[in-house]
Chains A and B, each alone.
Chain A
């Protein structure tokens, strides 16, 4: 994928958010394990930890609106549609497995992870076959 100015800006926004999220996860894990805070504090910490992830979704939306190269934007949007379909398919299949085959419950948190995997797979498919 070429490096458009909008892609560089997206990367510059995603990297610090990822670092903040990972550092936050580590700090939260240590704090919760060693300080044993009350439930309400754990809830607040969890909500705070989700902020950088939600911000990542916002950054992706900003990228789509800021990308000036219409062909690159179209490909990215198509990849997003594919990854959304991939996520719906995986979560639906897993849901049915949970319902009828007693498969272990899939944490909702993984929805974003699955979506990102779908985005990467769609991008990879285009690179190899398109």
Chain B
């Protein structure tokens, strides 16, 4: 699943390690989510969105959005 994580992180001048620390996960996890290798669970997705003060839809791109 695509996300705007990298852009949002860059806007705040955060490294992957910074974001990982805030989220309480490993840097590898942040990297895997950013690169689309791993889709986070709903609780983690909510946590990420909350950290950026956004809704989930503003952070993650719905892969089936065009089908709706």
Interface: A74 (CB within 8 A) = yes
**In the complex the two chains form, is B24's CB within 8 Å of A72's CB?**
no
**In the complex the two chains form, is A2's CB within 8 Å of B38's CB?**
no
B residues engaging A (CB < 8 A)? 24-29, 32-33, 38, 40-41, 44
**In the complex the two chains form, is A69's CB within 8 Å of B25's CB?**
yes
Q: List the B residue with the shortest CB-CB distance to A5.
A: B24
Docked Cα-Cα span, A2 to B25, in Å, equals: 10
Query: CB-defined interface of A1-38 with B at 8 Å, one 1/0 digit per residue?
Result: 01010000000000000000000000000000000000
**In the complex the two chains form, is B26's CB within 8 Å of A69's CB?**
yes
Docked Cα-Cα span, A71 to B32, in Å, equals: 8
Interface: A39 (CB within 8 A) = no
Number of chain A residues whose Cβ lies closer than 8 Å to a Cβ of chain B? 8
Partner pick for B40 among A68, A70, A72, CB 8 A cutoff? A70
**In the complex the two chains form, is B24's CB within 8 Å of A71's CB?**
no
Q: A70-B44, A71-B33, A72-B29 are in contact. List 12 more A-B contacts (CB 8 A).
A: A2-B26, A2-B27, A2-B28, A4-B26, A68-B24, A69-B25, A69-B26, A69-B29, A70-B25, A70-B40, A72-B28, A74-B38
Q: List the A residue with the shortest CB-CB distance to B30.
A: A71
**Which residues of chain A are near B28, meaning CB under 8 Å?**
2, 71-72
